[in-house]
Amino acid sequence: MTAQRINPSILSADFVNLQSELEAIASADLVHVDVMDNHFVPNLTMGPPIVERIQAVSPIPLDVHLMIEDADRWAPGYAELGAYSVTFHAEAAADPVALARRLREIGARAGIALKPGTDPDPYLELLPEFDQVLVMTVEPGFGGQSFMADMMPKLRRFAEAKAALGLDVWLQVDGGISVDTIGIAAEAGADTFVAGSAVYGGVPEDRIAQLRAAAAHHAH
């Protein structure tokens, strides 16, 4: 894994040729897998059977992002499939700490995601319980939305808490990340970046290298 992790989102990939699309991003750090249930967000993507096949053929580890209801019930199953990292939404978990501990127990990194409107305060003191915090820079549910720069103060608060506690927590951003916006997020403390169309909209290997360079140039 590199210091500035680039995690391409296969939401922007060609699903008919998913194996070759995964191979095309082998130079990235992890593959970001968006699981949506058409309840927590108004979109439907994939479930455990497809994630299991992605896990079997992917050249890089899986960074699973669960945009689903009842995360307490469903998230552990994705860890059991072998996902390297499983991120659930704070808004969809009855007991985020217990769920994170369960994911770690199974062997996955435990991540928590916050929608743009979610207050970070309750989660700052819980930071040691998580391996990753995902600050959404768009409303979850659809790709291709514009980057929300007004989420940077929230990101900085997590970066400050991480530094104060001396933690090795990854700070991830997802939504509208491109070579034009990745520097803004990196300066605010992000070190893990989800990019969909910014990677698959060109030659993926070249796009990944460009994003990585831009993030490193502005690293916090």
Instruction: Provide the Cα torsion 13, 67, 79, 52; round to 10°.
Output: -40
Structural contact between residues 193 and 177, judged by C-beta atoms closer than 8 angstroms:
yes
Rounded to whole angstroms, how far apart are CA atoms 129 and 132? 9
Check if 34 is active-site.
Answer: yes
Helical segments of the chain, H only? 18-23, 48-57, 71-80, 96-106, 121-124, 152-165, 182-187, 197-200, 204-217
Catalytic-role residue among 34, 63, 131, 191: 34
Phi-psi region for residue 95, left (φ > 0), alpha (ψ -120 to 50) or beta? beta
Check if 174 is active-site.
Answer: yes
Question: Alpha-carbon Rg of the chain, whole angstroms?
Answer: 16
Catalytic-role residue among 29, 63, 131, 174: 174
Per-residue DSSP letter, 113? E
Catalytic (active-site) positions: 34, 174
